[in-house]
Amino acid sequence: MDPIGIISILIFFGTLFGSIKGWIPQRVLPIQVALLAAAALIGILAFLSGKEIHASSFVSATTLHPITAVIAGFIFAGALKASGGFDAATDFVRRISRTPLGIPFAVVLLVNLPTIFAMPCGRIWVSPLMPIALMLGYEVAKERGNPTLPALVVFGLVVNAAASCGPSLIGGIGVLGEGMGRYGTGSFSNPQSIAIVVITVVTMALLRFVFAVAGPSEPDHGDDLPQRRAIPEHGYFSFILFVVGLAVTVVIQPPVPIQTILVFLTVVVMIIARLSVADLLDGILLHPLTAMISGFIVAGALVASGGFDVLLAGLDYLALHTPLGYIGVALLLIYLPIVFPMPCGRIIAVSLIPGVLMFGERLAAVLGRPPLQAVLLISFILSAAASCGPSPIGGIGCLGEGNMGLKGYVSGRPQALGIFLGVPVAALVVSFTGLSQSAFTVSFSVISICVSVLCGLATNVLLGFKVYHPGGILGGALVGALLIVF
């Protein structure tokens, strides 16, 4: 094993761990700068050891697609906010929650929306839907007298959005795995979607019964409460445009980049609502973007120094020479992204998928079951996709914590546990139904609706309603049906 590779991996994990644990205080060195420093150190070490290090090593390891998609998503979120789209959406959801189907229906639909219309980065949905999640959460908390319920709704949305880049057919991580492993396009989406619904409800259950995260008793809107000002018509228009635009993009998958579509929608909203460019800036969050960029730079440094090769060689050694064996190491590999969560799952996924494919092939050969490679790959991809939720370094969970005014990385553990328990669902679905490029199969349809209805029932209980409340049941059934259609 290359000693430089070993040192570079240690530097990387040390930086990550140190930042998470607080040994590198964020008020001294925020994680982005710490990662940049680590990348510089790794680069210098590799250069001094005689390896060829060029700027292109870092640049070629950068996946621009999620970064530009998130920028475009944030810009559109800024336009939505300035045009009153958030207020309109909140009003719309409030009206749904006042129907006989009630809050459970609204919650089930809201928290699963990012997976139904899966985007290449979950932040595209989280930004505009966060105020709605907060509103719903505080309403149900007031109704049920339980201050932990806002966290349920908010972090249910967060973990669902985080994982949603897995099944996204518009440049999601699942498609990346399908392409590299030469599986049928879209064949990884179905099992992941079902597992994400389970991950969402398990995370919500953990937040309700185990971690009991309670935020402030009331949201802090300042003077900007939605009910204190009239919602302009163009607010409703821009929100409908947002939902319909993204839904149509997911269905049709036009040969136009999603970034172009989002920018086009932004321009339309700007014209209708007479917004200026300055109005758009409100939606841009620089922290997750810079964290993603730093992560990709470090990934480039690790590729150049041979760090990832060392990681895979290490796993190989563990499989052959320790009691863990291939199965134990396979589990370790699947959950590696959760153990070391990055602000974008692609940072680890792109570098490790070839290793996962190779390992999966060996696992399949050792156990005599060829489908095991696909099972391992899908599980790894889902874990990597979802890992940006609990990531304390610019992950989507930080968005939720910030909006709720929570201190510390309180949502990390429930999300990580939820992902830990939910990922095997994807593995089970693949084992039983196999891979299919179409969602319109009997087996997938039945599983999708049944699992979603069960999750709806669980949501009823979690929100303090009766288990047979029609809101959760119908919400679950609708989610299951929409997962098949979209």
Partner 1 sequence: MTKDRSTLRILVLLAVLFVLVFICLKQVRSQYPGEYPKILPEIGGTFSFQADRIEIVLTEQPKSGVVFVFAYDEGNNFLGILKPVTDRKVVLGRGDLADVRAPVKGQEVGEPVFLKRMDRYAEKIDIFEKVVQAHDRGGRYGVQRCLHPVCTKCVDACKTVISSGDLAIVMGVQKGGFILPEFSKGKCPRCGRCFTDCPTGSIERSPGRQH
Partner 2 sequence: MKRHFLIINTCGIVLAVGFLIYLCASALYSGYPWSLICYYCKKCNAPCVVGIDPQGFIASSYSNDPNVSMYVTNGRLPLGRAMEVDPSMVVQAEDGKKLSAAAMKRKGVDPGREVLTYRMRAKEAAQLCLSCGACEKACPIGLPISAIVKDLREHGVFRGK
Pick one of 5, 38, 45, 58: the residue that binds partner 2 (CB under 8 A): 58
204 binds, among partner 1, partner 2, none (CB under 5 to 8 A by kind): none
Spatial neighbors of 111 by CB under 8 A, at least 6 apart, are 133, 153, 156, 157, 160, 200, 204
Q: Is 281 in the site for partner 2 (CB under 8 A)?
A: no
**Window 427-456: contact mask with partner 1 (x via CB under 8 A):** ------------------------------
Minimum gap (Å) between residue 183 Cβ and partner 1: 8
Helix, strand and coil in the chain, % to nearest 5: 75, 0, 25
Determine contact, residues 250/169, Cβ cutoff 8 Å: yes
Stretch that binds partner 2, among 141-149, 213-221, 251-259, 396-404 (CB under 8 A): 251-259
Q: Toward partner 1, which CB reaches closer, 180 or 240?
A: 180
From candidates 122, 167, 171, 389, binder to partner 2 by CB under 8 A: 171
Helix (H, G, I), strand (E, B) or coil at 230: coil
Closest Cα to residue 122, out of 168, 65, 76, 186?
A: 168
Contacts (CB under 8 A) with partner 1, residues 173-192 = 180-183
Pattern 371-390, partner 1, x by CB under 8 A: --x-----------------
Give the one residue of 120, 131, 167, 360 binding partner 2; rule: CB under 8 A: 120
Which of 172, 390, 414, 476 is in the footprint of partner 2 by CB under 8 A? 172
Which of the residues 59 through 118 are near partner 2 (CB under 8 A)? 59-65, 67-68
DSSP track, 349-383: HHHHHHHHHHHHHHHHHHHT-TTHHHHHHHHHHHH
Q: Which position among 176, 356, 385, 483 is part of the footprint of partner 2 (CB under 8 A)?
A: 176
| CA 312 to each of CA 5, 196, 289: distance values in angstroms, whole numbers, following the listed order | 11, 27, 28
Of 154 and 352, which has the nearer Cβ to partner 2? 352
Q: Helix, strand, or coil here: 458?
A: helix
373 binding partner (options partner 1, partner 2, none; Cβ < 5 to 8 Å by kind): partner 1
User: Quick one: which of 187, 190, 290, 305 contacts partner 2 (CB under 8 A)?
Assistant: 290
Q: What are φ and ψ of residue 274, in 5° steps?
A: 55, 60
Question: Which is nearest to 391 in space by CA: 348, 452, 451?
Answer: 348
Contact pick of 6, 20, 29, 439 for partner 2 (by CB under 8 A): 29
Closer residue to partner 1, CB minimum distance, 111 or 374? 374
Asked if 221 and 456 touch (Cβ cutoff 8 Å), the reply is no
Site map (CB under 8 A) of partner 1, residues 346-375, x = contact: --------x--xx--x-----------x--
Place of tokens 């409908």: 240
According to CB under 8 A, which one of 21, 182, 228, 321 is a site residue for partner 2? 182
Report the candidate in 304, 412, 297 with the shortest Cα–Cα distance to residue 347.
Answer: 297
Asked if residues 457 and 473 have their Cβ atoms less than 8 Å apart, the reply is yes
Q: What is the DSSP string of 426-452?
A: HHHHHHHH---S-S-SHHHHHHHHHHH
DSSP 303-341: HHHTHHHHHHHHHHHHHHHSTTHHHHHHHHHHHHHHHS-
Residue type, 464: G
For 232, which DSSP code? Answer: P
Q: DSSP 3-state assignment of 438?
A: coil
Cβ proximity to partner 1: between 299 and 357 the closer is: 357
The interface partner of residue 120, options being partner 1, partner 2, none and the CB cut-off 5 to 8 Å by kind, is partner 2
* Residues lying near partner 1 in the complex (CB under 8 A): 180-183, 354, 357-358, 361, 373
Chain residues that interact with partner 2, rule: CB under 8 A: 27-30, 32-33, 36-37, 54-65, 67-68, 120, 170-172, 175-180, 182-183, 185, 253, 255-257, 259-260, 286, 290, 293-294, 297, 346, 350, 354
